[in-house]
Chains A and B, each alone.
Chain A
Amino acid sequence: MQYKQAKSFVYIVSLLAILLTLVFAFRSLVF
């Protein structure tokens, strides 16, 4: 079960990372 949790956690971290890279790239529009 912990394997599945670890995998899901990595997916969430990756999605958050993509979101933050987009925020950084378009920060002139965001802020």
Chain B
Amino acid sequence: MINTGKWKRTLWILLFLLLVFTPIGILIGGTEPSPNRNPWLDFSVALGFIGLALMAVQFALTARIKPLKEPFGSDVIYHFHRQVSIAAFLFILAHPITLFIIDKRYLYLLNIFQSPLASKFGVSAVIFLIAVVISAEYRKKFRIPYTFWKIWHGILTTLVVALALLHVFLIGSSRYLAYPAVKAIWLGYTAAWLLLLIYTRILYPLKLIHNKYRVKTVKEERGASWTITLQPTTKKFFHFKPGQFAWLTIWKTPFSDTEHPFSISSSSEHPEEISFTIKDLGKFTSTIKDMQPGQDVYVDGPHGSFTIDRYPEAKSFVFIAGGIGITPIMSMLRSMADRDDKRPVKLFYNNRDWDSVTYREEIAVLEKKLDIQIIHTLEKPPQKWDGETGYLTESILKKYLSKSWFQENTEIFLCGPQVMMDIVIKQCMNLSFDQKQIHYELFNLV
């Protein structure tokens, strides 16, 4: 069987390399060196070009292009976006620093009140880029609200690329952009970047507005959580794979760029309506309980590769959930029940106390429909509790997973707080599970 996922990943990686290295390749192969020019000056220029090419690619990485995200998983793409952004930042920063090292007289360019227009653009781009990187890396430390940060992240990064391109076209026209091939490639990048902006900022929000959803019900769950059930306003059903997530825009329009990611908790066998269970954890999530039936919601999705459907060969599943991390797993369990899927399942579900076990009653009902064993672990168990207590440990996993579970065709799905996931992944690997069998998706992206 051909592994299409692997092929898709390879093609995307090749495209990434092509986009990043084409400008420098054209510079190497298509331009003549000046005999009197300091080679380190060219080194500085090339650092800037590489940095800008890396920056421009970021817009494609975050544009929610489904064929791009599917083979890797959304969280991996965002992680990659973060890593590439840091690399782009360092390349761009190294561009002026190299200039200043070559000749201190270049330092006058920092005075944007007296420097040429091209330098004004370049310096401004770097200042905005520093603001982008610091605000993204330290958003939580500086307690910058997510929505506020997200809007400004979009505005500032757009400004950075726009100013950097203006800098390139103004300063380069007398030198490297005088070469038609170099000029053509940067004009191409600019056009592609503008098209991507139009798509993500105008066309995509319009599409979401056209395909909007309405709240059918709002229901309180255990564990300070609320389930909202949505129905499409068009005849288009929301087809998804169990375990996937969607970005929801509530209270505002998709043009506001104020969406939040949430796991779908309903069964994929009922695409005529979708449910999300959202825990009251902050400013935005505390407003979920105030939602009313009939209210408009804009749904961007489905996204993500955290799904049992990617592993049709699996013989059995181990689900490990911490608190509200149960939501994507609930979608998988509900879908399995609807599909009459009798493959063996072990569910390890860690919670603080018995009263805050979200879906407690429904999980007990699912026990009768599925070939499942449910292992609740409680940090603060009630009196007369004869189940497992404390956090999920390696010995608890070992106790319930007999030898037959340690086989190639057992797939493990893990969702919960970051600290718990880090520990449980290690525990699973200690228990001789292969890392390829362990699947997780992180939402703690920024």
Do the beta carbons of A6 and B42 come within 8 Å of each other? no
Q: Contact: A17 with B91, CB < 8 Å?
A: yes
> Chain A interface: which of B73-81, B188-196, B339-347, B384-392?
B73-81
Contacts of A17 in B (CB 8 A): 20-21, 24, 50, 91
Contact A13 B72 (CB under 8 A): no
Interchain CB contact under 8 A, B50 and A21: yes
Question: B46 interface residue, CB < 8 Å from A?
Answer: yes
How many of chain A's residues touch chain B, expressed as a range?
20 to 34
- What 1/0 flags go to A12-29 for Cβ under 8 Å of B? 011011001111111110
Contact A1 B47 (CB under 8 A): no
B39 in contact (CB, < 8 A): yes
Q: Beyond A20-B28, A21-B50, A24-B27, is A10–B43 a contact (Cβ under 8 Å)?
A: no
B435 to A1, Cβ gap below 8 A?
A: yes
Task: Please name all residues of chain B whose beta carbon is closer than 8 Å to the beta carbon of A23 when the two chains form the complex.
Answer: 28
- The CA of A2 and the CA of B86, in the complex, are separated in Å by 18
Give B24-66 as 1s and 0s: 1 = Cβ < 8 Å from A's Cβ atoms.
Answer: 1101100001010001111100110010000000000000000
Number of A-B contacts (CB under 8 A): 65
Q: A21 and B47 in contact (CB under 8 A), knowing A10-B80, A28-B33?
A: yes
Shortest C-beta distance, B395 to chain A (Å), equals: 25
Task: Contacts A2-B76, A27-B28 given; indicate if A10 touches B83 (C-beta within 8 A).
Answer: yes
Bound: A21/B41 CA distance, A: 11
B248 on the A face (CB < 8 A): no
Are A13's CB and B42's CB within 8 A?
no
Given A13-B20, A17-B24, A20-B24, also A25-B76 (CB < 8 A): no
Contact B84 A10 (CB under 8 A): yes
User: Once the chains bind, are A21 and B21 in contact (CB under 8 Å)?
Assistant: no
- In the complex, which residues of chain B have a beta carbon less than 8 angstroms from the beta carbon of A1? 435-436
B79 → chain A closest CB, angstroms = 5
Majority-rule SS of A interface residues: helix
Q: Give the distance in Å from the alpha carbon of A27 to the alpha carbon of B21 in the complex.
A: 16
Q: Which residues in B have their C-beta under 8 angstroms from that of A3?
A: 76, 79
Q: How many Å from the CB of A25 to the closest CB on chain B?
A: 4
A1-B435, A20-B21, A26-B39 known; A14 vs B33 contact (CB < 8 Å): no
Which residues of B are found within 8 Å of A24, using beta-carbon distances?
A: 24, 27-28, 42-43, 46
Q: Which residues of A contact B21 (CB under 8 A)?
A: 16-17, 20
| A25 with B83, Cβ < 8 A, contacts A17-B20, A17-B24 known | no
**Per a CB cutoff under 8 Å, which of A6, A9, A14, A21 touches B24?**
A21
Contact partners of B73 in chain A: CB under 8 A: 2
A25 and B50 contacting across the interface, CB-CB below 8 Å: no
CA distance A14 to B73 in the complex (A): 23
- Tell whether, in the assembled complex, residue B43 and residue A6 are in contact, meaning their CB atoms are under 8 Å apart: no
Q: Which residue of B lies closest to A1 (CB)?
A: B435
The answer to whether B87 and A10 touch across the interface, beta carbons within 8 angstroms, is yes
Contact assessment for B87 and A25 in the assembled complex, using a CB-CB cutoff below 8 Å: no
User: How many Å lie between the Cα of A1 and that of B40 in the bound state?
Assistant: 38
Q: Is B17 an interface residue (CB 8 A)?
A: yes
Residues of A within 8 A of B90 (CB): 14
Query: Which B residues, 413 to 440, have Cβ-Cβ distances below 8 Å to chain A?
Result: 435-436
Min CB–CB distance B49 → chain A (angstroms): 8
- The interface residues of chain B lying within 8 Å CB-to-CB of A9 are 13, 80
Q: Is the CB of B24 within 8 A of A7?
A: no
Are A6 and B79 in contact (CB-based, < 8 A)? yes
On whether the beta carbons of B87 and A13 are closer than 8 Å, the reply is: yes
Q: Give the distance to chain B from A9, nearest Cβ to Cβ, in Å.
A: 8
The one of B25, B39, B86 that contacts A25, using a Cβ cutoff of 8 Å: B39
In the complex formed, the residue of A with least CB distance to B41 is A25
A10–B33 Cα gap in the complex (Å)?
29
A10 CA to B21 CA, complexed, in Å = 13
Q: Cβ of A2 and Cβ of B33 under 8 Å apart?
A: no
From residue 1 to 30 of chain B, which have CB atoms closer than 8 A to chain A? 13, 17, 20-21, 24-25, 27-28
13 CB contacts below 8 A, A to B, read A1-B436, A2-B73, A3-B76, A3-B79, A6-B83, A9-B13, A10-B80, A17-B50, A21-B46, A21-B47, A24-B27, A25-B41, A28-B33
* Closest 7 pairs between A and B when the two form their complex, measured CB to CB: A25-B43, A21-B46, A28-B33, A25-B42, A10-B83, A25-B39, A6-B80
11 new A-B contacts, CB < 8 A, other than A2-B79, A24-B27, are A2-B76, A3-B76, A3-B79, A14-B90, A20-B28, A21-B50, A24-B28, A27-B28, A27-B33, A28-B33, A28-B35
